[in-house]
């Protein structure tokens, strides 16, 4: 019985080897030295960055101007006043004196704003508009006129720029120094008749391009 079973197993192995067409010893050797297979595929990736803009600015600025009070001699001839009696209106007070202080002054607010972000061109425009400064006392007509609101910066597309509207570089997402700039204005005191607070405002607008 054992011999018959061994013959059948041998016949089965021989049949399988015949189907494969190689001896069993040869297949074992081929498994050892079979060639490897490798395939590669390339994937194209598109990262779409958003267009965005960050504007840094001060919501309030206090300008504390100073002046020195003094008594100035006019040598007795420049400043004079004359009048007659209380009921006589033909004579009025007449006076003249040298103007004290400048009529206007230029003010620069250093590093008053900054921008950063991304745009299609890598740039943005920055513009400024503003108002005069009016006295806060009710019924007062005193004001400080403001002329020549302008912006200035060294980070313009062509270097240093100034004007009411300027074109600025945007400095990317992070790790870069933002583009900073100044605000310039001319204060005119022709209609300034009172001390105390005079309030106005200016608006800075940044826009990607």
Which residue has tokens 């608006």? 203
Can you tell me the mean pLDDT for 179-184?
94
Which residue has tokens 């704003």? 113
Q: What is the pLDDT of residue 92?
A: 52
- The span from the first CA to the last CA of the chain, in angstroms, equals 96
- The residue among 9 and 178 whose pLDDT is bigger is 178
Question: What does the block give as tokens for 120?
Answer: 């299609």
Average pLDDT, the chain: 80
What digits encode the pLDDT tens for the residues 20-46?
Answer: 455 555 555 555 567 899 999 999 999
For residue 76, name the pLDDT band (cuts at 50, 70, 90).
low
- The residue among 24 and 110 whose pLDDT is bigger is 110
Lowest mean pLDDT segment, chosen from 27-41, 110-124, 153-167: 27-41
Which residue has tokens 């007070």? 93
What digits encode the pLDDT tens for the residues 60-71?
Answer: 999 988 887 777
Total H helices, total E strands in the chain: 2, 10
Q: What is the pLDDT of residue 28?
A: 52
Name the nearest CA neighbour of 84 among 94, 96, 75, 73: 94
Q: Is the pLDDT of residue 11 over 60?
A: no
Q: Rounded distance, CA 143 to CA 192, Å?
A: 5
Q: Rounded distance, CA 193 to CA 120, Å?
A: 50
Q: Is the pLDDT of residue 8 over 70?
A: no
Q: What is the pLDDT of residue 71?
A: 74
Which residue has tokens 């006392």? 137
For residue 118, name the pLDDT band (cuts at 50, 70, 90).
very high
φ/ψ (deg, to 5) at 118 = -135, 140
Q: Rounded distance, CA 124 to CA 2, Å?
A: 95
């Amino acid at each position: 019985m054992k011999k018959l079973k061994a013959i059948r197993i041998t016949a089965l192995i021989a049949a399988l080897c015949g189907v494969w067409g190689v001896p069993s010893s040869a297949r074992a050797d081929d498994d050892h030295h079979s060639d490897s297979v490798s395939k590669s595929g390339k994937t194209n990736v598109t990262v779409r960055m958003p267009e965005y803009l960050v504007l840094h600015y001060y919501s309030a600025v206090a300008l504390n101007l100073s002046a020195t009070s003094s008594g100035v001699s006019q040598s007795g001839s420049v400043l004079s006043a004359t009048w007659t009696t209380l009921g006589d209106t033909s004579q009025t007070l007449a006076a003249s004196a040298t103007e004290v202080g400048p009529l206007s002054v230029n003010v620069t607010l250093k590093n008053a704003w900054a921008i950063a972000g991304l745009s299609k061109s890598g740039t943005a425009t920055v513009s400024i508009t503003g108002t005069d400064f009016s006295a806060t006392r009710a019924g007062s007509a005193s004001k400080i006129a403001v002329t020549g609101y302008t912006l200035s910066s060294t980070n313009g597309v062509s270097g240093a720029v100034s004007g009411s509207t300027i074109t600025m570089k945007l400095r990317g997402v992070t790790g870069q120094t933002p583009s900073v700039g100044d605000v310039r204005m001319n204060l005119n005191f022709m209609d300034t008749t009172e001390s105390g607070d005079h309030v106005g405002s200016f608006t800075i607008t940044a826009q990607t391009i």
